[in-house]
Amino acid sequence: MVLMVVITGNKSSALPRHQNNLEDKLPPLINYSLPSFLVNLPLATEDNYFEEITPHQVGYLIWRDFPVKVYLESPAPDLPVSSLQAFQRWQKAGRRALDLWNKYVPLQEINNAEEADIIIYRQAPLPQGKITRNPETGLLNLPRIAAATTTIKFYLRDNHLHHRMIIHVSPHQADDYLVSNISHEMGHALGIWGHSPNPDDIMYYAHTANIPTISPRDLNTLRKIYHQSTRLGGKIMNYEL
């Protein structure tokens, strides 16, 4: 079964969307120093898929403060035992995915979603697209429901532009696919805003029979992304609501 991962970049109300030229209101592009943990990655190849990465209107979606804070949704206190066990299984898969990335990028799991840079919810993503009717058969064509999605939200703090990544992951998957899908979405959340054409990479765009893990190509691509410029972290001048 092919999984098409849908990536959206929803601007929050913190950005002045009503302006005709949004870029004139955004901070200038900035180049930050490459984090030491990316400089020191012991990789045997320089192969990457950087050409598949699409920069956002704010530039590349990179983090500057480490460790990146991640909130993994917690179960409600009144869940019945069977539901609690299913939730804990999902959390375990989420932590396995975080552990995979934490080998290369400093991450910190926290208990407060409001303070998190990345929030991971145990919820099936909303269907992408509209219901249409086949004019020949009269049957309804239902939109594909992705197993996981990542959405960007922007906000201002002291007039500086920041972002938060929101991941929704359906719990209705086998454990190995949960780990793989959460790892894939974490790749997006860490800045890989695109997909690999190589099925051996965690950022490959579809499910495969052989579940991939984080590859040297994934890491080389991430490192090259963090060489690029961004408006994130910059100060918005003359901001008007």
Mean pLDDT in consecutive groups of 10 residues from the start of the chain, 241 residues? 32 41 80 96 93 95 98 93 94 98 98 97 66 56 61 93 96 92 97 96 89 95 98 82 42
The pLDDT of residue 138: 57
The pLDDT of residue 25: 80
Instruction: Give the integer Cα–Cα distance in Å for 216 and 222.
Output: 10
Q: What six digits make up the tokens of 166?
A: 């929101």
The pLDDT of residue 20: 44
What homologous superfamily is domain 6-128+143-230 in, according to CATH? Collagenase (Catalytic Domain) (3.40.390.10)
Locate the domains of the chain by residue range: 6-128+143-230
Q: What six digits make up the tokens of 140?
A: 């309804």
Q: What six digits make up the tokens of 12?
A: 């929050």
Query: Would you mind telling me the total number of residues written for the chain in this entry?
Result: 241
* Alpha carbon distances (Å) from 159 to 8, 154, 191: 24, 12, 22
pTM of the model: 0.83
Quick one: which of 188, 201, 218 has its CA closest to 68? 188
The pLDDT of residue 189: 98
* Alpha carbon distances (Å) from 84 to 75, 87, 89: 7, 5, 9
The pLDDT of residue 210: 84
